[in-house]
Chains A and B, each alone.
Chain A
């Protein structure tokens, strides 16, 4: 099958594209919707909002997730907030400004039309969530409150204390459970999707493992939606929940869905530093803290004095110094690289020297402990539990950590992948954030995709593509299920002596060292030699205890690590291919004299979409040229 990369961006002025497109799309008659079965994999913000909305429209929805309840999806952990161009603060915000900030923040590597639609829909999201009873923060007059996030000079971030993701997800989850009660949605928790089933080239079903019984189950439908989240845990240590994985996306990739920009990963500047080799994950300290916290390191190398003994004039508030207009609120990629530079320069703090301070002393002096507690209480408490230090008294120590995947399965304007019928939402797709995501924009994107985009575009797909009825008796289901079974049997048969975790940890170290915050040709080539060796090691020496016929968490974990060992090679290859720096992808070969990321628009103004050709075989690169009609490409500056 020859692959055509058609982004299907509607014609017309950017502000009218989505409205025109909505009008041009075919509709499914309300009475006919019940006849269509839509499979939704994932119950995070993207999956839960999609499943609930499609259920409300009358489709027959099957919804799957790994956790024991849809409410526990990784989205629950999002802390800081969600952006929307409401301009409630009267500070000059608009749909156009949110669009502009997002394209610029992404370092001009996203698709303009998608980003504009996202900014337009942002305002509807807040309204919808308020109507559901999401307890957003309020001002004394009873109106909605906002805070500021990185990469913006307006205050447009809505929040519910430090638990915004939790409250938004519970809103979507409650809507979802209402559809479950009404029998529009059937829920399948503790199920892991392990393959997508194609019939006549179209996505018609999935194969899953029932995590409680080990049974391999098949489900057929008229379309499949993946909302399975990002691949940050490829790096072993990340801020992502430990069950996050690339498996669903990767298996779809192996069936023909192109994977776009895998090297666009986001390393978040403010996380609690690594404390030892036992560490299983890293904890984020929300970006919102940079509203009030000041980042600094000692001016002198190797200054080991405790922070309160370092006088003001011997401190370097390097973000405020280097970027006076954005200060501590520069975008994440800029903040992370600067933290790394300070530590590489021997000015890092803490025992390992791999940390910088985030100091609230001035803010506490200005607005008082109580105000700080009200804004960030749960984050401070979280910090104290992990480090045993009181951040009201001593500055937090923070360091960058792997956090978010901008890359993902390639989708067109309708959020459909290169496999007809297979749609991809939320962090799992690549569409809106270019080479760097701005804070508080992932929640916005997940909910825009699920509440307001897919309900329209899936109807268009179904109405325009009459599909023959089929059941799981079709041969394609048997082939896929056999495939899944074979892989499980192989994993269990290795019976080596190495633990899955030890190999995952090794993979993480390779990616962090050579495909992390700073990348160069030699390092990337080194990683490309090491990853296949690790993969080999895994398939010869891994120990996967237990049996396949019951709850077996080792088997689940082994499957995910096995997929990461294939995926990591693609991630690295993509990083090697892109010989420019942009956003979170910093190639040392391409920087300005001030060590800022230097893009190469002449050669790399495209989305790199990779086609799978076999494990260990060179994938084929397809390019989607990025056209900028609205935003003028410039060297990004936050000075």
Chain B
């Protein structure tokens, strides 16, 4: 296959970026999307040209590092798929593909297709944990948890923190990301003690970081590579209201 690529190039955080044209030749349908970019970069290297910067690590859909908007869709056209799992058999010879970074105020561009998602870490630091120091934990089986609840918690805990939800949202809201962690911990007995503080602190931090509010468009759910449902956001809203009531605000 031969493909026409339009790729976002931006020299640094303060530079202005633009879309640049490239062609990818001899693309095999068995290649992953990122392997196709590796080949383009090898071609650039042979010409002594600076490689197109993009993030990846596990290349199997679990680390959340890869973060490309492909033809306007975070992680590309396949549902429930990270861009590192997307394969070129999804495209046809002669296709034109536009590749851009996540775009959100809270995710500044570092270079080309690489963004800074430190804001997500700071949201977790604000309250996305159970405060137990190491040592002295009781035997694991002293705390039975129904299989159903454990499975539901796991559904929410499956979030990989990639930020596609933010990139897809017209408000650049971090609600799906936050609500996944809040749901995971609110569902489990271990999360009860800090339940109210957690939801308030995380939502406050998201405001500080410059994420937008949620207007229920559902774009986030549609692009989430782990198919985390927006019912998590509803749960987070309930948790928030409850926390406000308890705090008497």
CB distance from A389 to the nearest CB of B (A): 12
Cβ of B124 and Cβ of A177 under 8 Å apart? yes
Give the chain B neighbours of A163 by CB distance below 8 A.
Answer: 62, 158
Chain A residues whose C-beta falls within 8 Å of the C-beta of B191 in the assembled complex: 133
CB-CB under 8 A from B64, the residues of chain A are 69, 71-72, 76
A130, B138: Cα distance in complex, Å: 9
> Which residue of chain B has the shortest Cβ distance to A52 in the bound complex?
B134
Q: How far is the CA of A128 from the CA of B140 in the complex (A)?
A: 8
User: Can you list, as one digit per residue, whether each of B148-181 has a CB less than 8 Å from chain A (1) or not (0)?
Assistant: 0011011001101100000000000000000000
Does B39 sit at the interface, judged by CB under 8 A?
Answer: yes
Measured CA separation A400–B121 after assembly (Å):
36
B200 at the binding interface (Cβ < 8 Å): no
Point out the residues of chain A lying under 8 angstroms from B145, CB to CB.
Answer: 138, 142
A396 to B138 CA separation, bound complex (whole angstroms) = 41
Name the interface residues of B109-146: CB closer than 8 Å to any CB of A. 110-111, 114, 116-118, 120-121, 124-126, 128-135, 137-141, 143-146
Determine if A140 and B60 form an interchain contact, defined as CB atoms under 8 angstroms apart. Answer: no
A76 & B125 in contact (Cβ 8 Å cutoff): no
Say how far A92's CB is from chain B's closest CB, in angstroms: 18
Instruction: Output the nearest chain B residue to A557 by Cβ-Cβ distance.
Output: B51
Residues from chain B with a CB closer than 8 A to the CB of A278 are 28, 30-31, 35-36, 38-39
Cα(A131)–Cα(B64), bound, Å: 25
Mask, A466-494, CB within 8 Å of B = 1, is 00000000000000000000000000000
We find that the number of chain B residues with CB closer than 8 angstroms to chain A is 80
Give the residue of B45, B63, B128 whose beta carbon is less than 8 angstroms from that of A543.
B45
Establish whether residues B48 and A495, one from each chain, have CB atoms under 8 Å apart when the complex forms. yes
Q: Roughly how many angstroms separate A224 CA and B59 CA in the complex, as a whole number?
A: 30
1/0 contact string of A27-67 vs chain B (CB within 8 Å) = 00000000000000000000001001100100000000001
A281 in the interface (beta carbon within 8 A): yes
CA distance A420 to B130 in the complex (A): 35
Question: A67: which B residues are within 8 A, CB to CB?
Answer: 57, 63, 65
- From B49, B55, B124, A68 is in contact (CB under 8 Å) with B55
Stretch binding the partner chain, chosen from B182-190, B213-221, B235-243 = B182-190
Indicate which residue in A143, A275, A281, A388 contacts B141 across the interface (CB closer than 8 Å).
A143
Chain A, residues 555-580, CB within 8 Å of chain B (1/0): the string is 00000000000000000000000000
How long is the Cα–Cα vector from A142 to B144 in the complex, in angstroms?
4
Mark each residue of chain A from 62 to 91: 1 if its CB lies under 8 Å from any CB of chain B, else 0: 000001111111101100000000101000
Report B-chain residues with C-beta under 8 Å of the C-beta of A139. 147
Q: Interface 1/0s, chain A 522-556, versus B by CB < 8 A?
A: 00000000000000000000011111001111100
CB-defined interface of A239-257 with B at 8 Å, one 1/0 digit per residue? 0011100000000000000
User: Closest chain A residue to B112 by CB distance?
Assistant: A551
Cross-chain contact of A241 among B49, B59, B89, B154 (Cβ < 8 A): B59
Which residues of chain B from 46 to 61 have a CB within 8 Å of any chain A CB? 46, 48-51, 53, 55-61
- Interface: A189 (CB within 8 A): yes
Instruction: Tell me whether A546 and B51 are in contact in the complex, defined as CB-CB below 8 angstroms, given that A67-B63, A177-B121, A280-B35 are known contacts.
Output: yes
Distance of B3 from chain A, by nearest CB (Å)? 14
Q: Is A127 an interface residue (CB 8 A)?
A: yes
* Contact B35 A500, beta carbon cutoff 8 Å: no
Question: Is the Cβ of B121 less than 8 Å from the Cβ of A70?
Answer: yes
Could you tell me if A133 and B59 are in contact, using CB atoms closer than 8 angstroms?
Answer: no
Query: Across the interface, which residues of B come within 8 angstroms of A550, CB to CB?
Result: 11-12, 111
Question: How many positions in chain A have a CB within 8 Å of any CB in the partner chain?
Answer: 85
B51 touches A545 (CB 8 A): yes
Task: Check A135 against B46 for contact (C-beta < 8 Å).
Answer: no
**Interface positions of A from 99 to 141, Cβ below 8 Å from B:** 124, 126-133, 135-141
Residues of A within 8 A of B (CB): 49, 52-53, 56, 67-74, 76-77, 86, 88, 124, 126-133, 135-144, 160-161, 163, 166-167, 170, 173-175, 177-178, 180-181, 187, 189, 212, 241-243, 275-276, 278-281, 283, 381-382, 385-386, 388, 451-452, 455, 495, 497, 499-502, 543-547, 550-554
Q: Give B contacts to A, CB under 8 Å.
A: 11-12, 28, 30-32, 34-36, 38-39, 41-42, 44-46, 48-51, 53, 55-65, 78, 80-81, 85, 87, 89, 110-111, 114, 116-118, 120-121, 124-126, 128-135, 137-141, 143-147, 150-151, 153-154, 157-158, 160-161, 184-185, 188, 190-191
